[in-house]
Amino acid sequence: MSVNLQTPIDYLKGVGPNRADLLRSELGIHTYQDLINLFPNRYIDRTQYYKINELQRNNAEVQITGKITGFREVAQKRGKRLVADFRDDTGTMELVWFRGQKWIRESLKLNQPYVIFGKTNWFSGKFSMPHPELELLNEHEKNLRSTMQPIYPSTEKLSNKGVSNRVISKIMQNLFLETKGQFSETLPSSLRSNLKLISKSDALFNIHFPKSTNLLSKAQFRLKFEEFFYIQLQLILKNLIHKSKIKGLTFIKVGDYFNTFFKEHLPFDLTNAQKRVLKEIRSDLGSNAQMNRLLQGDVGSGKTIVAFMSMLMGLDNGFQCCLMAPTEILSVQHYNSLQELCKPLNISISILTGSSTTSERREIHKKLENGTLQILVGTHALLEDKVKFQNLGLAIIDEQHRFGVAQRSKLWKKGAEASSQNKKDSEGEKKSFTPPHILVMTATPIPRTLAMSVYGDLDISVIDELPAGRKPIKTVHRYDNNRLKVFRFMREEIAKGRQIYVVYPLIQESEKMDYKDLMDGYDSISREFPMPEYQISIVHGKMKAADKDYEMQRFANGLTQIMVATTVIEVGVNVPNASVMVIESAERFGLSQLHQLRGRVGRGAEQSYCILMTSHKLSEASKTRLETMVRTNDGFEIAEVDLRLRGPGDIMGTQQSGVLNLRIADVVKDKDILNTARNYAKDILKLDPSLGLQEHKMILNTYRQMGKYKNIWNYIS
C-alpha cells in the first residue's frame, strides 16, 4: 500500500507532537509532502576520510576515522571543558566539548572505531575539533546516507530545541523508509526521455541522499524543471482559459478618430517598435476575446502615444476609455499630455483625483453616465462606487505593480455596471456582462525571466527602441572631492540656457538626516549659484502639495535654472529643457531608481548628462550599480543586473513579492531551465489545450493535485 503524502507530519516516526508543532511553526511543514519538499540549502562532501597527519591549518570541515583513547576535564575561566584524545594510525588530536560534558562522557565508548566530522583548529602545536559529530563506524556504514551530507534550512528556535540538521536528516530517512522511496511520477515518459530526466523517485532520493555529485546535479535539474513547468503551465492555461471563456467587446473598425489623428496630428513618426505594439493591440481588440496585455517600455520610449491611439480605437467603436495611475502627480502629467492630443480632435477628457472638488466630481459622474465624457484619467478615485461609466471599453493601468489585485478587479467590474446595468433579457435572466479590455503599462523594465514568471498569464508587448533624434544620456561617476569641477560644468550648461536637477536620497528611516542633507545641499548650491543671477527651486516631501506644484511649475516654465529635490521628481516631471541630472549620495539609491531619475533628462534634442556623486566608501554592490549605470542606458539590461543583485522579492515590491516562493528553482540562476520549461508547457498546450490526450493524463492529474493541496498556487499572485 502506498503511503499518503498528505498524512500529518505528527505520525512520522521520530517526530511526535512537540517536534511537529515546531516544524509547522518554523518551517511550514504540515504533511509528509511538505517534508519531502524541504530541499537542502547546500551539501558537505563526506566522500573523503582524512588521516590526522594529512590535516591542514585551514579551518576546513573534515571527516576522520579513529578511536577515543582517554578523557580529562580541564578547568577554564568559566567552568570546565571536556577533552578527549582521538587517535588513528598516523597521529593524535583532541576533541573538545564546552557544554553537555556529563552526557557526552556517559555516551562515549573508549577504544571503539568512530567516524568524527567537524571543523579543525590548530592550537599549541596540536589539532583539535570542538563539538564534533560522532558516529560509531558500524552505525555509520549501516545508515541510509550518502557521501554528500545535506544541510537543511533551519532557524534559531529549531537549533535551541535540539532539532539539529542531524535530527532532520534522521526524520527524512524515516520518511524514505516508510514510503520505500516510491513516489508518484509527475512528468510523462516522452518528456522525460526528450530531456533525459531521471525519475521522480530517483530525483527525490538523490536530492536528500546523493550517491554522487553527478546524480545530485541530475536530481536538481529534474526538480527545478518540474517546478517551473507546472508554474508555467498554470500561467499559460490561465491565459488560454481567459481568451476562450472571457468574451471581449469587439472593436470592429479603425475609424475617423484614429485615422485623422494618425494622418494629421501625430506629433512625430512612430518607431517600428511602437507600430508593432499597436498592431498587437489592434489584433487583440478585434479578436472577440478580452485583451489582457502588459506594455513594457523604457523611460521615454513613447508608451503614452500608444495608449492614446489604443483609446482612439475604443472611441471609434463608441466606447469610453479610462487611464488610472498610482499617484496624483503622474495622473496630472498623463492628463496634461492627453489633453493636448485630444484638443484638435474635439474629444472630451476629464481628470478625477483625491483633490477634485465636489462640484467637479458631480459634473464628471453625470457626463460619464450619459456618455458625453469620452476619456477619464485619474488615481484610485476611479475605483469609487459612485464612478459609473455608460460603456467602458478600455481601461489602461499605469505602473500596475503599485496596485493590488483587488483594486484591478474593481476597475474590471466597471464594465459590468456599464454593459448590464442589471438589465434582463427576454427570459428575465440577468445579462452577463462583457468586461472592458485591459492594457497594463510599466516604465520599469521587467527582466524577461520575471515577466515570464509573474506576468506569464498576460500577453506582453515591449517597446524596445527610443524615438529618433534622442541622444543617449552620458552618465559619469564622480567622487565628492570633484564637486568644484561639477559646479563649473553646471555653470557652463546654464550659460547655454539649460536647466539642472540636483536630487538627494530620501530613505524614510532617517528623514531628519535626509532633510538636513537636502537643506545643506541647498545652502551650498545657493552659495555657488547666488541670486539674482541664478534662481533655484526646492521640492521635498514635507511641503504642501500646492507649494510643490508652484515650485515645479516655475521650473517647468524656465523661471528657475536649478531644481533641488528629493526623489519626488522620480515620476511625473517632464521638462525637455532640463539636460543635467546630478544625483547626490548615488550609492544610497537602487538601480531601477537611478535609471528612473536619469530618465527625467534627455527629453529634448540637446545632449543630456547624468552625474552620479558618491563618497569613496562604496560596497561591492554599490560599485556594480554605478558601473552598470555608466556602461548602459538599456533599462532591460539594468533590470537584469538589479535582479541579480537584489533577487525577485525586492524587485516586484510588496504587492507581488510572495509570487515566487520557489522551493528549489531560482529565477536568476536557473533562467535557462525556466525558458525550457515554458517552451515545453507552451508546446504541450498548443497541441492539447485541455490536456485530454492519454499521454498528458499524468500532467492533468498532477496539475489537479497541486490545485487541491495548494502546493503551487501560493506562488501565483
Residues 510 and 622 in one domain: yes
Mapping DSSP onto H, E and C, the string for 210-258 reads CCCHHHHHHHHHHHHHHHHHHHHHHHHHHHHHHHHHCECCCCCCCCHHH
Q: What is the C-alpha separation between 375 and 167, in angstroms, rounded?
A: 64
- Which backbone phi and psi does 269 adopt, to 5 degrees? -70, 140
Distances 197 to 20, 186, 202, 225, 241 between C-alpha atoms, Å: 34, 12, 10, 9, 30
CB atoms within 10 A of CB 348: 12
Residue 656 phi/psi, 5-degree rounding, is -120, 5
Residues 511 and 483 in one domain: yes
Q: How many helices (H) and strands (E) does the chain have?
A: 26, 22
- pLDDT value for 497: 92
3-state helix, strand, coil in the chain (%, to 5): 45, 20, 35
How many residues are recorded in the chain?
717
pLDDT value of position 319: 94
- On whether both 487 and 596 belong to a single domain, the answer is yes
- Domain co-membership, 353 together with 268: yes
Domain assignment present for residue 8? The answer is: no
Question: CA 705, 707, 710, 715 torsion: positive or negative?
Answer: positive
Structural domain contains residue 234: no
The DSSP bridge pattern shows strands 126-130 and 133-136 to be unpaired
79 in any annotated domain: yes
Q: How far apart are CA 225 and CA 677, in angstroms?
A: 6
Q: What is the CATH number of the domain that holds 88?
A: 2.40.50.140
Report yes or no on 668 lying in a domain: no
Same domain for 481 and 376: no
User: How does DSSP classify residue 113?
Assistant: E
342 shares its domain with 479 = no
Q: Which of 71, 139, 134, 69 is nearest to 102 (CA)?
A: 71
Over 535-596, what HEC string results?
CEEEECCCCCHHHHHHHHHHHHCCCCCEEEECHHHCCCCCCCCEEEEEECCHHHCCHHHHHH
Query: Residues in the chain with pLDDT < 50?
Result: 1, 420-431, 507-510, 570, 651-659, 711-717
In a domain, 526, yes or no: yes
* Inter-residue contact 642 to 648 (CB < 8 Å): no
Q: Say which CATH number the domain at 557 has.
A: 3.40.50.300
Residue 450: per-residue pLDDT:
73
Amino acid at position 17, single letter: P
Same domain, 392 and 334: yes
Residue 597 contacts by C-beta under 8 Å, 6 or more apart in sequence? 501, 503, 567, 569, 570, 581, 583, 589, 610
Question: How far apart are the C-alpha atoms of 551 and 548, rounded to whole Å?
Answer: 5
Residues 364, 320: contact at Cβ < 8 Å? no
119 close to 130: Cβ distance less than 8 angstroms: yes
For residue 543 the three cell numbers come to 511641503
539 assigned to some structural domain: yes
User: What's the CA gap between 44 and 46, in Å, rounded?
Assistant: 6
pLDDT at residue 567, as a whole number: 67
Domain closes at, from 444, 463, 482: 463
Q: What is the Cα gyration radius of the chain?
A: 32
Which grid coordinates belong to 135?
A: 558516529
Closest CA to 303 of 395, 233, 220, 398: 398
pLDDT at 95: 94
Q: Residue 453 in contact with residue 231, Cβ under 8 Å? A: yes
| pLDDT, position 656 | 43
Residue 569, pLDDT score = 60
Smallest CA-to-CA distance from 296 within 406, 401, 375 is with 401
Do 371 and 514 fall into the same domain?
no
Q: Are residues 508 and 364 in the same domain?
A: no
Do 439 and 501 share a domain, yes or no?
no
* Distant-in-sequence, close-in-space partners of 695: CB < 8 Å, separation ≥ 6: 188, 190
Number of domains in the chain: 3
How high is the pLDDT of residue 197?
96
- Residue ranges making up the domain that contains 312: 256-422+431-463
Does residue 663 belong to any structural domain of this protein? Answer: no
Q: What is the pLDDT of residue 119?
A: 87
Q: What is the pLDDT of residue 404?
A: 58
Question: How far is the CA of 394 from the CAs of 303, 324, 385, 517, in angstroms?
Answer: 16, 11, 18, 45
Is 21 a member of any domain?
no
Of 145, 174, 204, the domain-final residue:
145
Examine the domain organization and report whether 376 and 490 are in the same domain.
Answer: no
Classify each residue of 668-690 as buried b or exposed e, where b means 16 or more C-beta atoms within 10 Å of its C-beta: bebbebbebbbebbeebbeeeee
Last residue of a domain, one of 632, 653, 672: 632
**Cβ(378)–Cβ(389) under 8 Å?**
no
Q: Are residues 271 and 406 in the same domain?
A: yes
